[in-house]
A and B are shown apart, each in its own frame.
Chain A
Amino acid sequence: MFLKLVPDETAIKFTKMRMAALAMSAVLVVGSIGMLVTRGLNFGVDFTGGVTIEVADSEPIELQAVRDALGGLGLGSYEVTEIRDFADSEPAVLVRVAQQQEGDGEAESEAAELAQQEALQKVRDAMTALLGDGVEFRKEEVVGPTVSGELIQKGAMAVAFAIGMMLIYIWLRFEWQFSIGAIIALVHDVIITLGVFSLTGLEFNLSIIAAILTIVGYSMNDTVVVYDRVRENLRKFKQKPLDELLDVSVNDTLSRTVMTSVTTLLALASLAIFGGEVLRGFTLAMIWGILIGTYSSIFVASPVLLATGVKRDWSKQATAAATP
């Protein structure tokens, strides 16, 4: 063929590298947890509550002038960043105002929701005063304390639920050892992805939860393909030492692993370059997730099998995989 990224027969000793991989993963995971604890995530208004407004004008907008205009409004903390949705869009800035007040009790919560609306109104008025009538509010998002609390809860639940469901599925389709390996790989990927978000300070919003769930699906996908081959080879080579058998399995599936990663990355690169500002965080998260997911299925998921050991005698069990 014209293009072959991985040669036909590879015999890379992946299991020999497991200690190095373990060290690297440990550093990344511990580092990520450290980042999450100390720096935390740059949560978007979906999770913190507050207001974001995208303000566009035909003339370039001076960030400092916008900051000055907002400074006198008494809105608490706010952020102004320059954004350009698409190459030929009008110049725009994104104004983000933090949640106005906490709402715990019944009466306070209504006041807190109202305060968000007032903040939005104030920002709109200030921007109209600053930029004149030509100003365009391209996007407005107001999330009150009630909804932001629910979204955090739902998001965390969704990720936990997804991992739990994967665990059960792998357990049913394979053996419990595989299930453990797959989950360790998944949790590894999710933690490191969160770590990257903490490190870069990219906004963490609802669509990032979607990206993480997709990463969970993809990483699982990758791991399952390797495991499927491990299971097959366990039946085929009954006497082969487990580390060799794992190496053979990973090598067998290596060119597929690389091919699929490349096609998925091609699609994602297109989204990152042409998909505009709205999808950028989501796409970057996905690209990172594909890379880490591919790494983990090779260097994390299979070495775990070496550590837990697997059942070697598969002869009695009828073929588990259904053939159509």
Chain B
Amino acid sequence: MLQFTKAQTAGILGLVVLGLLFAVPNFLSDETRAGLPGFVPKSTISLGLDLQGGSHLLLKVDTDKVIEDRLKATMTDIRREMRPNRNASRERISIDNLAFNAETGEIRLRLADAGDLEEARVRVRDVTRGTGGGLGLGLRPYAVNATDSEIVVTMTQEAQTAYALEAVRDSIEVVRRRIDPAGNREVLIAPQGSDRIVVQVPGDDDPEALKAIINRTGQLSFHAVDQTVNVGNALSGLLPPGRSLCPQAEFDGVVRPGPQSGELCAPYEDGNYTLPPIVLMEDAEVTGDMVQTASASQNPDGFGFQINFEFDNRGARRFGDYTRNNIGSVFAIVLDGEIISAPTIQSAITTGSGRITGDFSPAEAAQTALLIRSGALPAELTTLEQRSVSATLGADSVRAGTYALIIGFVAVIIYMVLSYGRFGIYADMALIANVILIAGALSLLGSTLTLPGIAGIVLTIGMAVDANVLIFERIREELRSGKTPINAAETGYQKAWSAILDANVTTFFAALIMFLLGAGPVRGFAITLAVGVVTSVFTAYVLTRLFAGGYLISKRPKAIAL
């Protein structure tokens, strides 16, 4: 039990050295680390947001709305399909009623003449075939069922799942382009569950600014302004079909309600805005997805800042056609339900690029350009949870955690020496090795150290000596029963094992459950606790035995102080 072969000794000490090797990069500067040869481990423990400051956001993607939007678009397609086509090779099918029920997710088509049912069913099947997209090839996104008088269209479960997944994926891409446009920040943006996104941004960003840029839908469109409608009449509800009353953005930092679902414009209420609203055509001339890029710059011939944008080919052609035919009239650029600019068309713009001037501050111009450039979110994001810590509090926490760790460590070390003398020193060496191994293992796993994680390490230090206490108490008992030191140590290690194993397995279970079921901070604690349990069994049971065995076998003391 107390004897180790040379190979075993080398293996045990080698493991500790390996731990040290993995732990060392944490104490080197970035430059030194970069200069190390390739075979040296370089991964370090990263500090959690609670230690370096930063924001954690849990966002919900409104996947239900994404699916609803698709169903509504499909309903429009069905309506169009019932009309005759251009060369009139297809006859009109008269619709008695076509409606979408958001509760059941059904589109119901009732025909004026039941005799058209078969023909209508064929056309509906045709138009709902789907275009692939997130759904696998050959799969139909819609189920079309005909009764005697009605055709009922529903989206299949697979399609709903696929579209929801696609919406989450697209949202992640858009959010990434918004908060990490250059792709050089250590941000984490990851899906969670079926409709959620976790965003973690380290650093001292203002969490409010972060949310402001993430939660904007970023829906951009260009509309013709209808100056024939009197704004006063429009305000009292007299609005011709196909027109919308849109408020003008005020860029004053006040958060106002956005547009209702399916509406183009945000609601205008008296006192809500100081600028008068504008009546515009609901159908967009050009939409945001045709904008290729956007940037902010100083306005060369005026005050303030402007946003420069460039259309793709399709957008350039449509914008060119529109401006050529409408010289002298006003058009509006609408972003998330508010008009950000309403210029008069001076000449045809066929270059495919343009600029938005207005009362922008540099920051607003930059943010708006970023919003346009990053594209629109498929659906609004709702913040379910937010946790932000400032960098100063983070630094304070690091300091406090370090103090607690060092003082707790020293206290336990002194106490062990006072209680067990020479064997206490062995236990303390094991304890130091244990902390090294924990640091090495955490670096190897690339795990994140949080404040609760530090607490886990401190606690592990207190509990890690338990195995040694069990062994040493056992050796004491064996010595009292008259055994020689070597025999007593031998038996002590042997008999203490079953208690050590049981005791540590139970703690490991507790840590495992915390890791599996716990959220954020709890997980950090669970990882260090679990790692600490495993390493402590090794250092307390094997490493101290190596030391104790070496001493007892080489010195053969007649009595030991324990």
Q: 1/0 per residue A254-289: CB within 8 Å of B?
A: 011001101111111111011110110011001000
Neighbouring B residues of A166 by C-beta, 8 Å: 506, 509-510
Q: Which candidate, A20-28, A67-75, A141-149, is the interface stretch facing chain B?
A: A141-149
Asked if residues A210 and B408 are in contact (CB atoms below 8 Å), the reply is no
* A314 CB–B CB distance under 8 Å: no
Size range of the interface on B?
35 or more
Neighbouring A residues of B477 by C-beta, 8 Å: 252
Q: Which candidate, B71-79, B284-292, B511-519, is the interface stretch facing chain A?
A: B511-519
Asked if residues B498 and A321 are in contact (CB atoms below 8 Å), the reply is yes
Asked if residues B501 and A206 are in contact (CB atoms below 8 Å), the reply is no
Asked if residues B465 and A282 are in contact (CB atoms below 8 Å), the reply is no
Neighbouring A residues of B505 by C-beta, 8 Å: 169
In the bound assembly, the distance between CA atoms of A214 and B459 in angstroms comes to: 10
Asked if residues B518 and A260 are in contact (CB atoms below 8 Å), the reply is no
Neighbouring B residues of A259 by C-beta, 8 Å: 419, 469, 473
In the bound assembly, the distance between CA atoms of A213 and B504 in angstroms comes to: 14
A154, closest chain B residue (CB):
B517
Neighbouring A residues of B473 by C-beta, 8 Å: 253, 255-256, 259
Asked if residues A144 and B385 are in contact (CB atoms below 8 Å), the reply is yes
Q: Within residues 239 to 273 of chain B, which ones have a CB less than 8 A from any CB in chain A?
A: 255
Q: Considering only CB atoms and an 8 Å cut-off, how many residues of chain A contact the other chain? A: 89
Neighbouring A residues of B400 by C-beta, 8 Å: 85-86, 274-276, 279
Asked if residues A161 and B513 are in contact (CB atoms below 8 Å), the reply is yes
- Pick from A138, A264, A279: contact of B452, CB below 8 A: A279
Neighbouring B residues of A184 by C-beta, 8 Å: none
- Pick from A89, A121, A162, A264: contact of B462, CB below 8 A: A264
* A323 CB–B CB distance under 8 Å: yes
Known interface pairs A144-B383, A209-B518, A210-B518. Does A271 touch B458 (Cβ–Cβ under 8 Å)?
A: yes
* A307 CB–B CB distance under 8 Å: no
In the bound assembly, the distance between CA atoms of A70 and B415 in angstroms comes to: 50
* A247 CB–B CB distance under 8 Å: no
In the bound assembly, the distance between CA atoms of A89 and B462 in angstroms comes to: 28
* B556 CB–A CB distance under 8 Å: no
B423, closest chain A residue (CB):
A1
Question: Which of A86, A118, A286 lies at the interface centre, i.e. has the most chain B CB atoms within 10 A of its CB?
Answer: A86
- Pick from B64, B390, B466: contact of A136, CB below 8 A: B390
Q: 1/0 per residue A128-158: CB within 8 Å of B?
A: 0000000011111111101100010011011
Asked if residues A140 and B207 are in contact (CB atoms below 8 Å), the reply is yes
Neighbouring B residues of A157 by C-beta, 8 Å: 517
Known interface pairs A225-B470, A282-B452. Does A158 touch B513 (Cβ–Cβ under 8 Å)?
A: yes
Q: Which candidate, A35-43, A191-199, A215-223, A238-246, is the interface stretch facing chain B?
A: A215-223
Known interface pairs A207-B452, A209-B522. Does A139 touch B463 (Cβ–Cβ under 8 Å)?
A: no
* B372 CB–A CB distance under 8 Å: no
Q: Which candidate, A2-10, A11-19, A298-306, is the interface stretch facing chain B?
A: A2-10
In the bound assembly, the distance between CA atoms of A151 and B393 in angstroms comes to: 25
Neighbouring B residues of A225 by C-beta, 8 Å: 470, 499, 502-503
Q: Within residues 511 to 540 of chain B, which ones have a CB less than 8 A from any CB in chain A?
A: 511, 513-514, 517-522, 525-526, 529
A209, closest chain B residue (CB):
B522
Tell me what chain B mostly uses at the interface: helix, strand, loop, or mixed: helix
- Pick from B407, B476, B514: contact of A213, CB below 8 A: B514
In the bound assembly, the distance between CA atoms of A273 and B517 in angstroms comes to: 29
Asked if residues A267 and B507 are in contact (CB atoms below 8 Å), the reply is no
Neighbouring A residues of B521 by C-beta, 8 Å: 206-207, 210
- Pick from B403, B404, B408, B418: contact of A3, CB below 8 A: B418
Asked if residues A274 and B522 are in contact (CB atoms below 8 Å), the reply is no
In the bound assembly, the distance between CA atoms of A3 and B50 in angstroms comes to: 39
A265 to chain B, nearest CB (A): 7
- Pick from B50, B60, B386, B388: contact of A146, CB below 8 A: B60
* B387 CB–A CB distance under 8 Å: yes
- Pick from B382, B409, B459, B561: contact of A1, CB below 8 A: B561
B132 to chain A, nearest CB (A): 29
In the bound assembly, the distance between CA atoms of A140 and B494 in angstroms comes to: 52
A46, closest chain B residue (CB):
B519
Neighbouring B residues of A82 by C-beta, 8 Å: none
* B396 CB–A CB distance under 8 Å: yes
Neighbouring B residues of A118 by C-beta, 8 Å: 255
B503, closest chain A residue (CB):
A221
Neighbouring B residues of A260 by C-beta, 8 Å: 463, 465-466, 469
* B495 CB–A CB distance under 8 Å: yes
- Pick from B411, B451, B497, B501: contact of A278, CB below 8 A: B451
* A228 CB–B CB distance under 8 Å: yes
A303 to chain B, nearest CB (A): 20
- Pick from A4, A89, A321: contact of B501, CB below 8 A: A321
Question: Which of A136, A139, A214, A232 lies at the interface centre, i.e. has the most chain B CB atoms within 10 A of its CB?
Answer: A214
Would you list 23 pairs from A and B whose C-beta atoms are within 8 A, ordered by A residue?
Answer: A85-B396, A117-B211, A138-B389, A162-B513, A166-B506, A206-B519, A213-B510, A213-B511, A214-B525, A224-B502, A225-B499, A225-B503, A255-B476, A263-B412, A266-B411, A268-B462, A270-B407, A271-B404, A276-B400, A276-B451, A278-B451, A279-B455, A320-B498
Pick the 3 closest A-B CB pairs, nearest first: A321-B498, A267-B462, A217-B510
A-to-B contact residues, CB < 8 Å: 1-4, 8-9, 54, 85-86, 89, 106, 110, 113-114, 116-118, 120-121, 124, 136-144, 146-147, 151, 154-155, 157-158, 161-162, 165-166, 169, 173, 206-207, 209-210, 213-214, 216-218, 220-222, 224-225, 228-229, 232, 252-253, 255-256, 259-260, 262-271, 273-276, 278-279, 282-283, 286, 320-324
B-to-A contact residues, CB < 8 Å: 50, 58, 60, 62, 64, 207-208, 211, 255, 382-390, 392-393, 396-397, 399-401, 403-405, 407-409, 411-412, 415-416, 418-421, 451-452, 454-455, 458-459, 461-463, 465-466, 469-470, 473, 476-477, 480, 494-495, 497-499, 501-511, 513-514, 517-522, 525-526, 529, 561-562
Known: A158-B514, A165-B513, A217-B511. 20 other contacts (CB 8 A): A1-B419, A2-B418, A86-B399, A89-B396, A138-B390, A138-B393, A140-B207, A140-B386, A154-B518, A166-B506, A206-B519, A213-B513, A217-B509, A220-B503, A224-B503, A225-B470, A256-B470, A263-B466, A266-B411, A275-B403
